[in-house]
Amino acid sequence: MSLSGFTSRFFASFADRLWISRMNFDTHRAGLLLHPTSLPSGTLADAGRWLDFLQAAGFGVWQMLPLGIPLTGLSPYQCASAFAVNPGLFPAAPVDMQGFADWRRRQAYWLEDFARFMVIKAEQGGASWTDWPAVLRDRDARTLAGFDAAHADKLEAVMVEQYGAAMQWRRIHAHAAAHGIQLFGDMPIFVAHDSADVWAQRGLFLLDDVGHPTVVTGVPPDYFSETGQRWGNPHYNWAAMQADGFAWWRARLAAHFEWFDLVRIDHFRGLAAAWVIPAHEPTAIHGEWVEAPGAALLQAIADEMGELPLVAEDLGIITPEVTALRHQFGLPGMAVLQFAFDHHADNPHKPENAHPDTVYYTGTHDNDTTLGWWRMLPDEARQEVMRQLNVDDPDTVPDTMIDTVLKSRAALAILPLQDVLRLGSEARMNTPGTDNGNWTWRFAWDALPPNLASNLLEQLQKAHRCETNPKP
């Protein structure tokens, strides 16, 4: 099936999926942030029990990180495909092959090239696709046909693995819907260079003749880094994407909404303009802002979908153009309470500045836990936090921050489970710019106190955060 065929079929049926509802910013809800790798088993084998806990505690949203296949290490933000999911997140289970052929046909626009990419990559010892023999690197049609014939079983095994994951997720999604819980996913704005997407769709990215990026993306130097951040992701060939009506992007969003009810676009400001760095530069210092056709892209999606259940990750230095783009399409932004405690009255992270069209966090997966953050603050900063929170006892600060987020005007309040459990830095999920110790934290079921769900339910009810108890 073509990209346009898939998106037309999907979006035509989207309105009929009654278990998906657009976030209503006139009501208040709460959710927990927990990636599947942080479940006790490290997989979605625990999903049913976790959803039962969320329902008992009054939460209406489960937020998680991207579900893709990490290229190296454990980070879910550099993945082998923008469409495929990590089969390691799913417990081993028999696969009903009856529906596989139809599912394979419907997913053919990405599935077959993904399977080829993974099998070739394994046979090439994990080498990047730009280091493959030229006939494979450049997708010689005769060579690929011969490869398919010689590796039919391996290719089918990769595809069946994705089908099995999709069928397991369908059951998880149905369980969530029956509990009145929305699944909140995450989509990195850029894709990894060493991915099936870039190999199969070279014309959609700014590459040289052999497939190397001519420019890469990142962020410029700022207060936190003298050299900025050089992510290394190839930049989009926006002209080519716009020429075909953003077919790849529409398919990507459609695929995400087969999995999730809400989707966060990581680094949303890249849809307004991206920091683009010559590929030969070792740092992000010598880059430039390059505008992106974000309005045209979002309009193309809105024209088909009608509703845009998207959340814009708009943290960091955000320009008026980025804010205007978000408002143009009615997308909620983000605020993080840990960032609120300065002397600037207009700081968007301060509780009084949290607008209804906001997803408000104590901290995100990139922050220290709230308790860990609090313990690491210098004395002067601690005094300022206590002053702004109007508390006298320093031991109450982490709990007060949770309560502050829940009682804010934000339509959706999200708490990392680590904060709910009052855990310190040992439970931190990720430290940006570091390679060790990230993405490994898990909780244990016996770490959840027996009265935790009932206590949380009472807390959410008092904050008017339960679906059955909307804020007046």
Catalytic residues, which ones? 266, 313, 366
Residue 283: name the closest of 238, 222, 208, 206 by CA: 222
* 3-class DSSP string for 32-57: EECCHHHCCCCCHHHHHHHHHHHHHH
Name the helix (H) or strand (E) containing 141: helix 141-150
Taken as a whole, the chain contains a residue count of 472
* Residue 62 one-letter amino acid: W
Residue 340: name the closest of 416, 430, 400 by CA: 400
Task: Tell me the backbone φ, ψ of residue 215, rounded to 5 degrees.
Answer: -140, 155
Distances 348 to 273, 324, 355 between C-alpha atoms, Å: 21, 15, 9
Tell me the longest C-alpha to C-alpha distance in the chain.
74
Distances 371 to 245, 267, 396, 416 between C-alpha atoms, Å: 47, 26, 10, 12
* Residue 440 one-letter amino acid: T
Name the helix (H) or strand (E) containing 415: strand 412-416
Give the DSSP letter string of 418-464: HHHTT--GGG----TT--SS-S-----GGGS-TTHHHHHHHHHHHTT
β-pair partners for 290: 274
CA distance 165 to 111: 13
- Is the Cβ–Cβ distance between 359 and 333 less than 8 Å? yes
Residue 104: name the closest of 94, 93, 115 by CA: 115
Name the helix (H) or strand (E) containing 290: strand 288-291
Residue 310: name the closest of 262, 353, 276, 253 by CA: 262
- Helix axes 379-389 and 397-406, enclosed angle (nearest 10): 40
Residue 300: name the closest of 259, 249, 252 by CA: 249
At a CB cut-off of 8 Å and minimum separation 6, what does 406 contact? Answer: 30, 413, 415, 459, 460, 463, 465
